[in-house]
Structure 1
Amino acid sequence: MSNKIKAVVVYSGGMDSYTVLHRAIAEGREVYALSFNYGQRHSKELLVAAEVCKSLNVPHKIVDISAINQLMAGSSLTSDVDIPEGHYAEESMKNTVVPNRNMVLLSMAIAYAVSLEAPEVHYGAHAGDHHIYPDCRPEFVHAMNAVSQIANYQAVEIVTPFLNSSKGEILAAGLGMNLDYNQTWTCYNGREKACGKCGACNERLEAFAEQNTQDPLAYEV
């Protein structure tokens, strides 16, 4: 029987959660990866996530919660709304907010952790998202963490190792672990190549430029 601490990692297939996943493994956690199909525009990131978990021999669940999409409408990530191009600092990026997404996903991750008797749920909230996404801000994370301590007979801690880190700092941590970011998908579009124009691509490319490193992904532009 393993003496490792069990941890559920909310794993989207993107850069941040990819780094969180590997960090948890490096810390000696017994990791259970959890991904969600919540009706997002494409499933490419989920396919990438599945491939990574298979290569790492990490147990991985992809949970289809797309039926609740009808309750989370209005976002360009889930509805028939054009995905804005540009930087997250622009007001237009607010239409990429999926209503209450992280509260919903974390609630299910906590439930999964309780069923596994795992005392931790890890997820990749970071400082770069604070401006646009209320459910990535420290006050949200701290409040959810307080609730997760009392919502079940078993307390679960929400672990956010990069809560106050920039995307570049997350990338630096991953490069320090020799991670291959070709095994991630960030773009809001699910085409063969990343678009290079959406907010997610812009932030990713800025992070690589900040680290003076070439992004291994292929881009349309």
Structure 2
Amino acid sequence: MSQKVVVIYSGGMDSFTVLNKALQQGHEVSALSFNYGQRHVKELDVAAKVCAELGVPHKVVDITAINTLLAGSSLTDDIEIPEGHYQEQSMQSTVVPNRNMILLSLAIGYAVSEQASAVYYGAHSGDHAIYPDCRPEFVRQMNVVSQLANYEPVAVVAPYLEDDKNEILADGIRMGLDYEKTWTCYNGRDKACGKCGACIERLEAFAANGLNDPLPYE
């Protein structure tokens, strides 16, 4: 059944797949992106281009002021981006304190104002080990709170919550998606580094699906 939904869209491959999945399901989609001071702000330019191509209404909200409160993440502070797989302890430095609760809260408010019935975001099983706000129990409880917080209940939906990056990519390939239109690397340079956790997981997903990643790497 078609619904009006808000998709939190970072410009990365997970949220790109979620955005297109919602569209292919026949939903009326509004995309919402956040500038929270991330090094890889390049992803927002990628998101804007995709939404323009798809004709999807797109808002980019500047919330960089919150970084005066949230310190200690290598994604936003002057801390070197760690190299290696997400399973490694060093990758905990990429956690932005309470990020998804903040972003979901803002997106839920936007959904209420737009009379949308759900907020979609790209949490998946590969994030469970390192990001507490992508775990199933967090999503379930945010869904409960979201439907209590306003007179108009808004569902929190993570379509790939139990799937890994390999499965997300496989679903996107089935949908005919072009992943050259995404940005994943935590270093916001001209080319992807190929060494940070985000790049490694992405490259593993393409390899698992017998494909070459269309993005250029350093």
Taking structure 2 as the reference length, the TM-score comes to 0.99
Deviation, structure 1 residue 73: 1.1
Q: Equivalent residue of 1:152, what SS?
A: coil
1:204 and 1:4 map into 2 onto residues whose CA distance is 31
1:117 and 1:142 map into 2 onto residues whose CA distance is 22
Structure 1 residue corresponding to 2:7, chosen from 5, 9, 16: 9
Residues 87 and 129 in structure 2, CA contact (< 8 A), matched pair in contact too: yes
What is the count of residue pairs matched by the alignment? 218
Deviation, structure 1 residue 141: 0.4
The answer for the alignment partner of 1:120 in structure 2 is 118
Amino acid at match of 1:106: L
The answer for the alignment partner of 2:39 in structure 1 is 41
Q: Where in structure 1 do 4 or more consecutive aligned residues deviate above 6 Å?
A: none
Deviation, structure 1 residue 122: 0.3
RMSD (Å), alpha carbons:
0.8
Amino acid at match of 2:103: L
Are residues 1:180 and 2:178 paired? yes
The answer for the alignment partner of 2:206 in structure 1 is 208
Structure 2 residue corresponding to 1:189, chosen from 187, 190, 203: 187
Q: Equivalent residue of 1:170, what SS?
A: helix
1:166 and 1:122 map into 2 onto residues whose CA distance is 17
Equivalences for residues 1-221 of structure 1 within 5 A: 4-220=2-218
2:71 and 2:47 map into 1 onto residues whose CA distance is 24
Q: Equivalent residue of 1:12, what SS?
A: coil
* Structure 2 gap ranges (5+): none
Amino acid at match of 2:176: N
Q: Equivalent residue of 1:150, what SS?
A: coil
Deviation, structure 1 residue 4: 4.2
1:163 and 1:204 map into 2 onto residues whose CA distance is 17
Deviation, structure 1 residue 41: 1.3
Taking structure 1 as the reference length, the TM-score comes to 0.97
Q: Equivalent residue of 1:19, what SS?
A: helix
Amino acid at match of 1:121: V
1:42 and 1:84 map into 2 onto residues whose CA distance is 14
Give me the identity figure in percent: 69
1:94 and 1:42 map into 2 onto residues whose CA distance is 17
Q: Equivalent residue of 1:93, what SS?
A: helix
